Amino acid sequence: MSRRGRRTRPTQPSQRPAERRRPRWPILAALATVGLGIGVWLAATTGWPRLLPAAGKLNVLLITLDTTRADYLGCYGRTAARTPNLDRLAASGARFERCTTCTPFTLPSHASILTALYPYVHGARYNASDRLAEGNLTLAEALKKAGYRTQATVASVVLNRKWGTAQGFDVYHDLTQTALASADELHAERRGDVVCDDALEMLSSLADGPFFLWVHFYDPHYPYVSARVADHDSPAAYEDEIAFMDVQIGRLLDGLKRLGLDRNTLVVVVGDHGEGLSEHGELLHGTFLYESTLHVPLIMACPGRIKGGQILGAHVRTIDVAPTILELLGCPAWEQAQGVSLVPLLKGQTLDLGLEAYAESLDGQVLFGLSMLPSLTQAGWKYVLAPKAELYELASDPGEMRNRLSDAPSVAEHIRERLREIIADSPPPPPKDTALAALTAADTAALESLGYVGHTVTATLDESTELDRFEPRGGDPKDYVRLFELKARAGGALRDQDFPRAEQMLRELVATMPNVSSLRVDLARALRGQGRLGEADEVYRQAAAMAPDNRLVRHAYGRFLLYEANQPAQAVTQLRAALDRSPDDVTILHDLGVALLTIGQVGSAEQYLQRAYTLQPASPQLTQAMGTLRLKQNRIPEAAEFFRQTLKLDPNSVEARRALDWVRQRAKPPVHGGSVPESH
């Protein structure tokens, strides 16, 4: 199978400070003997495997499958599936037939898996918008506190450490700047074989345990790549990506066994969301809340700990993953978790926990100013709160083809009120992080390829509470199906650098939705790609005039003026406007500092660059900018030190290496004395 170009994987561990919020842990040591006795009793009375007297703690391997529909796996009934490794794992453990994710987006879904909280509580509600705030408690943080070594390797730019998911990990491998700047940068991902190679190296380093390893596979995410079928937008191409991912999972599980870790490692496989594949008019995912994007696989296996061959029909959620892992490891439950442990189901103590599943999509609101969509699934019924509400009885109508709202109004009203109660009774969200992480040009290009630049949740959600926003506002996304499909196809054209085709579709979108500023940002990108900078300038100007308070629009226009149109003075105006609306956005601070430095306002530039560096001292982009600033100020030794810092943070930085070479060749004592320090 033809695959995308290889990625360079990162080598730097996470450098996040210690966690901030922790529940108090009760002392469990005195219960160990009692727990073993209970395990023996369960083995005799319920068929639950006898607990093995492990020499150490149980290891955890968490595998998350991006964009993976449950019904495309053999173990979930697809006869033509090519997923033997996932099928074998399911047969060796427990497979949950009905697992629901809480959002069809990668970042918020993974944040919910790691925190056991719904997106409106943990706050990371949309890709490349708000990051997962450090006030959240993550599974990695809890296990690190319990003595586990924690490592992760992820495959998508939207899970880069700057978005908060690295909290609690000793080592966190994401898309480095070198990978993002490669020839294949527009796909903004690491291939599954590269991720698997990385994970196998991590396993070798963690063999003495106990460890928590999170491995994220992104291959089924659009754009699909297939050597078998010509139509790369087809379900067949999507299925090829799943088959490729399954091969990598097989390699990973074989490596676990080869190291002798398989019998003392809990393996959990869970999908973050599914894929529309044009069902209900949804080409990809993110817009609607149908089962095609919400029903995900969930498999748990551990020899001697989880009985093999279990098929559990109870309705569960991805927010239940972390509480289940914690209980299986003997760790205390989280007081504020919205998810619950599934151990009673695994042990056969009950057949159903009576769980309700909340889900949300902000896509229509963020992209087009339409209504957001929350839903609640309860007792086999799914209710979607929208201007035109929907109600489905999933057992008799799994394809959600018949809206039962008119003939079951009492059911709809009951679930609607229950949805309101769940939101009202939710734990308070943690404080948002005030500083937004710095985005390099490579970051921006990668996020643009996924369609996220110019869109923000904070620009569309006011300061009211989630309960205040309960009633639908704006148009119903169902009435704009063609626009969402056109937007997705335009994004694909931009990703493939087919800028004329993208322009054609985006002009149609702008004509249909003339008041949506983000569409003009995308159109400007299509024009930039064709070298039509004057036209792009005019379209950016229209977008900024239309949305003067949208920091992402003003920022995008400022970056264009600074880095492409060679108009740094005009860029300063746009960047100041963006900074007024987000004073701690490190990327805006950086870009404004660079613009001021370019027009010779060195003192003002220092103000913004120093502030950005203080907020994020471990950013190679900022250390490089600080080095350039010090050169302008003739503070040569300090400049050299900043360039050395850049190379420590990003050893492949050509810009830093050239600057340091220039300093070494041309260095002279600064005005106030001193000398250039020797390089190390």
Q: Which of 419, 379, 383 lies closest to 395 in space, CA to CA?
A: 379
Q: pLDDT digits over 585-600, tens only?
A: 888 999 999 999 999 9
Confidence of residue 177 (pLDDT cuts 50, 70, 90): very low
672 within some domain: yes
> Do residues 600 and 635 share a domain?
no
> Do residues 143 and 195 share a domain?
yes
Percent of the chain with pLDDT over 90: 70
CA distance 31 to 511: 67
> Do residues 589 and 676 share a domain?
no
> Do residues 503 and 520 share a domain?
yes
Alpha carbon distances (Å) from 46 to 250, 347, 349, 558: 31, 7, 8, 65
> Do residues 621 and 607 share a domain?
no
Q: What mean pLDDT comes out for the span 382-388?
A: 98
618 Cβ neighbours under 8 A, 6+ residues apart: 15, 649
Output 452 or 88, whichever has higher pLDDT. 88
486 Cβ neighbours under 8 A, 6+ residues apart: 505, 508, 509
Domain count within the chain: 3
> Do residues 412 and 487 share a domain?
no
Across 25-29, 604-608, 674-678, the highest mean pLDDT is recorded for: 604-608
Residues in the chain: 680
Q: What mean pLDDT comes out for the span 424-449?
A: 64
Q: For residue 199, is pLDDT > 80?
A: yes
Q: Which of 281, 201, 288, 284 lies closest to 237 in space, CA to CA?
A: 284
- Residue at 547: amino acid letter: A
Q: pLDDT digits over 412-434, tens only?
A: 999 999 999 999 999 888 877 65
> Do residues 495 and 579 share a domain?
yes
**Paired sense of beta strands 265-271 and 295-301, if any:** antiparallel
Q: pLDDT digits over 507-516, tens only?
A: 999 999 999 9
Confidence of residue 443 (pLDDT cuts 50, 70, 90): low
Q: Which tokens in the block code for residue 668?
A: 């002279």
8-state DSSP, 676:
P
Before 430, cis peptide (omega within 30)? no
Q: Is the dihedral of CA 168, 66, 358, 282 positive or negative?
A: positive
Please give the mean pLDDT across all residues of the chain: 85
Residue 225 has what pLDDT?
87
- Residue at 14: amino acid letter: S
CA distance 90 to 84: 10
CA distance 46 to 266: 21
Residue 149 has what pLDDT?
97
CA atoms in the 13 A half-sphere facing the CB of 519? 24
Output 677 or 79, whichever has higher pLDDT. 79
Angle (nearest 5°) at CA 358 between 71 and 62: 55
2 Cβ neighbours under 8 A, 6+ residues apart: 225, 226, 227
356 Cβ neighbours under 8 A, 6+ residues apart: 376, 377, 378, 418, 422
Query: Strands across the sheet with 373-378, in order?
Result: 357-361, 373-378, 381-384, 390-393
CA distance 256 to 304: 16
* 372 backbone dihedrals φ, ψ, rounded to 5°: -75, 160
**CB atoms closer than 10 angstroms to residue 84:** 15
Q: pLDDT digits over 618-641, tens only?
A: 888 899 999 999 999 999 999 999
Grouping H, G, I as helix, E, B as strand and the rest as coil, residue 28 is coil
Percent of the chain with pLDDT over 70: 83
Residue 280 has what pLDDT?
93
Q: For 626-655, give one letter per residue: b (16+ CB within 10 A) or e.
A: bbbbbbebebbbbbbbbbbbbbebbeebee
Residue-range definition of the domain harbouring residue 523: 441-611
Crossing angle of the two packed helices 568-581 and 586-598, in degrees rounded to 10: 150
**Paired sense of beta strands 310-317 and 94-100, if any:** parallel
Task: Please say which residue of 424, 455, 474 terminates a domain.
Answer: 424
> Do residues 509 and 607 share a domain?
yes
Contact in structure between 385 and 491 (CB atoms under 8 Å):
no
Q: Which tokens in the block code for residue 83?
A: 């997923």
CATH number, domain at 468? 1.25.40.10
Q: Which of 122, 125, 174, 172 lies closest to 150 in space, CA to CA?
A: 172
Of 32-41, 260-269, 517-526, 623-632, least confident by mean pLDDT is 32-41
Would you put residue 154 in left (φ > 0), alpha (ψ -120 to 50) or beta? Answer: beta
Angle (nearest 5°) at CA 115 between 212 and 620: 70
Q: For residue 4, is pLDDT > 50?
A: no
Task: Please say which residue of 611, 642, 669 terminates a domain.
Answer: 611
257 Cβ neighbours under 8 A, 6+ residues apart: none
432 within some domain: no
Residue by residue, DSSP assigns 186-233 as GG-B--HHHHHHHHHHHHHHTTTS-EEEEEEE-TTSSSP--SS-S-TT
Q: What mean pLDDT comes out for the span 296-313?
A: 96
Confidence of residue 137 (pLDDT cuts 50, 70, 90): very high
> Do residues 455 and 542 share a domain?
yes
Of 200-204, 434-438, 455-459, 533-537, least confident by mean pLDDT is 455-459
Q: Which of 428, 158, 403, 393 lies closest to 273 in space, CA to CA?
A: 158
> Do residues 621 and 604 share a domain?
no
Segment 469-475 long-range contacts (CB within 8 Å, at least 24 positions apart): 469/372, 470/385, 470/420, 470/423, 472/371, 472/372, 472/385, 472/386, 472/387, 473/371, 473/372, 474/364, 474/365, 474/369, 474/370, 474/371, 474/387, 475/364, 475/368, 475/369, 475/370, 475/371, 475/387
> Do residues 113 and 40 share a domain?
yes
**Could you give the maximum distance between any two Cα atoms of the chain, in Å?**
85
CATH number, domain at 389? 3.40.720.10
Q: Which of 639, 593, 641, 645 lies closest to 618 in space, CA to CA?
A: 645
Q: Which tokens in the block code for residue 250?
A: 């097989």
342 within some domain: yes
Contact in structure between 630 and 662 (CB atoms under 8 Å):
no
Contact in structure between 543 and 526 (CB atoms under 8 Å):
no
3 within some domain: no
pTM of this prediction? Answer: 0.80
19 within some domain: no
> Do residues 323 and 470 share a domain?
no
7 within some domain: no
Residue 616 has what pLDDT?
86
